[in-house]
A and B are shown apart, each in its own frame.
Chain A
Amino acid sequence: MSLVRTFILLFGLIAGFSVNIAIAQTDPESLRPLVNELAKGKYAETEKQIGALVATGDPAVAPALEALGAGVLFYRKSDGSVFITEKAGKTYKLTDPLTLEAKGEAGKREVKKIKVNNKLRRVIRAALGSLTLMAPDPEVRKTAAEAVFKARDPDSIEALDIALASETDESVQLIMEQARAAAVLNSDMDEAQKINAIETLSEMGNRDALSLLINVQSSSEGVVRDAATIAVEKIEKSIAAWDSAQNIWYGLSLGSVLLLAAIGLAITFGVMGVINMAHGEMVMIGAYTTFVVQELIRTSAPGLFEYSLFIALPLAFLASGLVGIAIERGVIRWLYGRPLETLLATWGISLILQQAVRSIFGPTNREVGNPDWMSGAFELGQMTITYNRMWIIVFAMLVFAGLMLVLKKTSFGLNTRAVTQNRRMAASMGIRTPWVDALTFGLGSGIAGIAGVALSQIDNVSPNLGQGYIIDSFMVVVFGGVGNLWGTLVGAMTLGVVNKFLEPYAGAVLGKIFVLVFIILFIQKRPRGLFALKGRAVEA
């Protein structure tokens, strides 16, 4: 909420400032009756009132409109005057929508929000676009041009022409031209103009352009229609090509989620041979740790929110790792050499952990927020890449690399491999096997915990979180070949990509069924997974 407000203030200042220079100054007070009008009537009236404000052409109304769209424009019940508000505990801080001066505070019951709906938000977005095309900040101009593009309003052509004439930033210029083209196609200008516009959009080549062009195609005739048809075909072709790239991306993204979920299991199950049914709950503990960290940050240090995940990572590792060590010391160490019984005991433990979380945090979903750098998306060609998915892929790779490093390059890793390969021999060489067992199990659980941090960004944080991943995790580890971390990596990525390539054709449900059948058949071909050891050592 405060972010929005800061933005509005900043934005207002800039807009106001530019007004002072660019256009003859109007007295803000002359706008006030129009702004106060907003408090009256229902959506239909509000829409008209917005139109009236925009008709003044005065950028000074921009902050009020922006606040209206964001749902922070309120009116005072006593006198009907309108304010931008910010919630501060039980009261609201008031700001004058035109002068942007602080106007004190008001209680909850003294003010009332001016309601907006989607339609109004669309109107406001378009209006703000045309009002701020000349703003000094290129970012603001860019946003404005994008808004004008979406509005496709022929009336904005004039404003765009003026803005284009003085535009210096090339990227903004491009968007303005596209916006102009969109508006031209929606107007009754001559064919030559329209064909020009079609070319501009054809260059643009994305789905927005496609959407516009399809419209043109169906609503026009003759040369324009032909030009539109050609452009549509061209764009559709290029989008189809990008679609396979997009699919691979989705597959890698799903694969990295599977990898994260499975990699801890690759240690506790793959390396140590514990059929760890409580693995999912370790992931869950990691996710809940993230929740607790964010809660603490929200209440005591809101500034740190952007870093919450970095704070949560080591804590989640510790929390899950310690629980893992406790489980190993308390239960599993009595069961080495009896792997099937670990299934039983860890199943019991998983029930207990689920219920424990349910009792402590309640049965409902808990909110784990995405920091700004995990939100949103960017375009790469015609692909949309969301930041959270991208970071999760990067993160999964880092975790994998880190784990490899620990197991291959540290003495702890050496000990782990020694103990899991030949316990008695390792013990007689002076390795403290109980410690190594506990720490290895702790490591696997801890990794599951940090996977939980990542998964909290894309999935529910609820007591059922772990159950959703346990089967997939076992599939990945077994498909890749038990005891081989590279197998887990390749297995996860293969299953992810296969799944995503099947999904558009078969649908999500059938796609998943096919993947399972594929695993069953694959295991027939390679009964010990993708990366199986060969030779006579395998079967004793």
Chain B
Amino acid sequence: MMSSFLFRAMDARAGIFMAILGAAIVLVPAGNLLVPETSPFHVPTYAVTLMGKYLTYALLALAVDLVWGYCGILSLGHAAFFALGGYAMGMYLMRQIGTRGVYGDPILPDFMVFLNWQELPWYWYGFDMFWFAALMVVLVPGLLAFIFGWFAFRSRVTGVYLSIITQALTYALLLAFFRNDMGFGGNNGLTDFKDLLGFDIQADTTRAGLFAASGLALVVCFLICRALTRSKLGKVLVAVRDAESRTRFLGYRVEHYKLFVWTLSAMMAGIAGALYVPQVGIINPGEFAPANSIEVVIWVAIGGRGTLVGAVIGAVLVNFAKTWFTAALPEIWLFALGGLFVFVTLFLPKGIVGTFSQGWTALRQRKISAAYEAGSDEPPTAPPHSPGAPANVTIPKPSAPVSGAAEPQPAE
């Protein structure tokens, strides 16, 4: 049963995507470490770290797409889970500094020493152990999401009301983490990391390793999301998105479904944050900023909501554009970025992936059902066509009002 569950995740599109990601995971570090610097195929460390960062953003976008694209929960606070994961990792990295801090205190991080903290606050205990920190990376965001979701979904807070209170959540955390009294380093956050699991964090090999880890995390989470959305549970999620009360009257406890994906998604965001921190070298409350969460939603929308692959593409593309613009057009890059957002909204309303594979979603659905119906328990294997070119369609392609189908309506 489990194997068929995971097997379900695979099809042509997922296959292509995974192949590319897999290649990147192998080739980029190899290009950095094995190819000599003089070679045109050498990948500079700068690019490795940058791409590693993109991958963690992509994982965050994936998490958002899972709740927004499939379940219609528009979270404007996912950066909070990302940042919490990041802080958990940051705390581990801080404890690893040990006596190498500027004051040489074996226990207290530097910022505590110069603000005259006498002892380590209780919530810092345990973070010197990697397994504990790793657990916290998923547990803290997961628990927060669980508690928050437990209340919000039970109270049936939906639509913009939910979006705004997720924003209130991340904003409140932003303010809380800014407070130096909280013991998380205030505005400066956690920085000056030395090593991770004994590896020097500045070494090229560590960076390549982190890149590969980010890629791997993305692949695994992608598979999970994929399997999830293609299971019956995935169908229920889409049902909740499209007609929440209908789903309820069918006997599904909508709040349980929402809580499940919401918590799962928060955990994925936490993992993304944890991989992000060692690569950029700092975690500070700025990561909680509501604007960050809004940006994530925009990545997903640009890539194509409810497509998973689109979230990844959107995140990478927008961030790449940002990297490029801020260097190439430092004075006016906001015009370019803002213009891009407006352009995509107006001319690619389904996002990049959605536009390129218009109608394909519908086909896929038919294919799956057809396969089930044909009596085979085997999930459908790769259909013989690529996303861009639907082939052997017996049913005429639905004409104009396809928008109602592929275009998920907001929960409100």
| Chains A and B are bound partners | yes
Chain A residues near B (Cβ < 8 Å) = 275, 277, 331, 334-335, 338-341, 343-345, 347-352, 354-356, 359, 467, 471, 474-475, 478, 482, 509-510, 512-513, 516-517, 519-520, 523-525, 527-529, 539
B235 CB–A CB distance under 8 Å: no
List, in ascending order, chain A residues with CB within 8 A of B301's CB: 340-341, 344
* Cα A347 to Cα B334 with chains together (Å): 11
Chain B residue with Cβ nearest A519: B168
With A334-B346, A335-B345, A527-B156: A351-B172 Cβ-Cβ less than 8 Å: no
The answer for the CA separation of A349 and B340 in the assembled complex, in Å, is 10
B360 within 8 A of A: no
Report the Cα distance A54→B339, complex, angstroms. Answer: 68
A-B contact count (CB 8 A): 120
Of the listed stretches B56-64, B111-119, B158-166, name the one at the interface; the rest are far from the partner chain.
B158-166
A491 to chain B, nearest CB (A): 12
0/1 per residue, B148-162, Cβ < 8 Å to A?
Answer: 100110011110110
Task: Give 10 A-B contacts (CB < 8 Å), ordered by A residue.
Answer: A331-B345, A338-B407, A340-B74, A347-B294, A348-B338, A348-B342, A355-B335, A475-B168, A520-B172, A527-B155
Q: Is the CB of B161 within 8 A of A509?
A: no
Would A524 and B151 be within 8 Å (CB), given that A348-B342, A354-B334 are in contact?
A: yes
Residues on B with beta carbons closer than 8 Å to the beta carbon of A525: 155
Q: Does B188 reach chain A (CB closer than 8 Å)? A: no
User: Which residue of A347, A350, A474 contacts B167 across the interface (Cβ within 8 Å)?
Assistant: A474
With A344-B298, A345-B345: A529-B161 Cβ-Cβ less than 8 Å: yes
Question: What residues make up the interface of B, taking CB atoms closer than 8 Å to A?
Answer: 74, 148, 151-152, 155-158, 160-161, 164-165, 167-169, 171-172, 175-176, 178-179, 245, 290-291, 294, 297-298, 301-302, 331-332, 334-335, 337-342, 344-346, 349, 407, 410, 412
Cβ-closest chain B residue relative to A527? B157
Do most interface residues of chain A lie in helix, strand or loop, or is the interface mixed? helix
Smallest CB gap from A522: residue in B: B165
Alpha-carbon distance A334/B347, docked complex (angstroms): 10
Q: Once the chains are docked, how many angstroms separate the CA of A383 from the CA of B412?
A: 46
In the complex, which of the residues B161, B175, B178 contacts A478, with contact meaning CB atoms closer than 8 Å? B161
- Asked if residues A350 and B338 are in contact (CB atoms below 8 Å), the reply is yes
Residues of B within 8 A of A338 (CB): 349, 407, 410
Contact A509 B178 (CB under 8 A): yes
Given A471-B290, A474-B164, the answer on whether A355 and B175 have CB atoms closer than 8 Å is: no
A338, A356, A523, A525: most-surrounded residue (chain B CB, <10 A): A523
CB distance from A20 to the nearest CB of B (A): 64
Complex CA–CA separation, A517 to B148 (angstroms) = 11
CA A334 to CA B179, docked complex, whole Å: 43
B182 to chain A, nearest CB (A): 10
A516 CB contacts on chain B under 8 angstroms: 168-169, 171-172, 175
Q: Is the CB of A348 within 8 A of B175?
A: no
The answer to whether B294 touches A345, judged by C-beta atoms less than 8 angstroms apart, is no
CB distance from A43 to the nearest CB of B (A): 37
Additional 19 contacts, C-beta under 8 A, given A520-B148, A520-B165, A523-B152? A340-B74, A340-B301, A344-B341, A350-B338, A351-B341, A352-B338, A354-B334, A355-B335, A355-B338, A471-B171, A478-B165, A509-B179, A510-B179, A512-B175, A516-B168, A520-B169, A523-B165, A527-B158, A529-B161
